[in-house]
Amino acid sequence: MKKLVLVYNPVSGRAVFKSQLDEIIEKLQSRGCMVIPYRTTPENRDLLDFIKAAAPEGIIAAGGDGTVHEIVNLVMKEKLDIPVGIIGSGTSNDFATYLKLDTEEYFDRIAAGNTMKIDLGWTGEDYFINVASAGMVTSIAHEVNTRLKNVFGKMAYYVQGLKTLPQFKALDLRIKTDKEEIEEKAFLFLITNSSVVASFKNAAVQASVQDGLLDLIVIRQCNIAELMKLTAELMAGREMTDTKNVIYIQGTTFDISCDSELDSDLDGELGPKLPLHIEVVPKALEIFY
């Protein structure tokens, strides 16, 4: 019998996962898995001790991108040699969406122990599984409080974004990759591992979690009309990497600095301030797939 720790966030995704908990446990238990639930708190001080005491054969992260981010960093930094499963139940589930992990068959694959190794990004302090970003747009995520997200879901981000459009200003970014150097006035940059970012499904169509590369997207300074058109195209699922207001580069290392004080964002969580050194860690994490 496969023993799994199910780490779930009770307030993610409009706090509906609590009502789905029994169903998730039933799906895994009926497939011969022993499920040990762990309810997250803001600190999760005892999570590592809980996992060590449980001695599971895998950890299932049930929540949004932030919950997945925390579990990935715990597994990597503590060198836990166990695979991670992902059940997206938050406001934003970009990585689970990219890998299409929202199917009934995913539970079959977890029970069977099907896994694959995926790349991660590394900042020197933290890992990220999907995206590192910074700029005027990414700050919106940290201005939307939990209550607003629980009531309005993804729409809360769009509402906050429209409110702050008049305040957008370009940043002087300096970016050095393993291939080239760029100086650009830009609204933001994204370094992504998958093609799904901020619920936009084709943000970087060439992205792969197994190619040993990360994908840089820079949104150049443009007028509000052009920015809104670009956003509308993204929401419609169109590719953005070949438009005039976007710089797109694949690489293995990125050094990014800015004259302004700027916080980064890692998988939707507050990251270190710029300057940033980011590199890919190929085939770093084993996940159920």
Active site residues: 269
- The pair of three-digit structure tokens given for residue 17, joined into one six-digit string: 């996962």
The 10 Å Cβ neighbour count of residue 286 is 16
Lookup result for tokens 């497939």: 31
The 10 Å Cβ neighbour count of residue 62 is 28
- Burial of residue 236, with CB atoms counted within 10 A of its CB: 0-12 exposed, 13-18 middle, 19 or more buried: exposed
- The pair of three-digit structure tokens given for residue 49, joined into one six-digit string: 């001790």
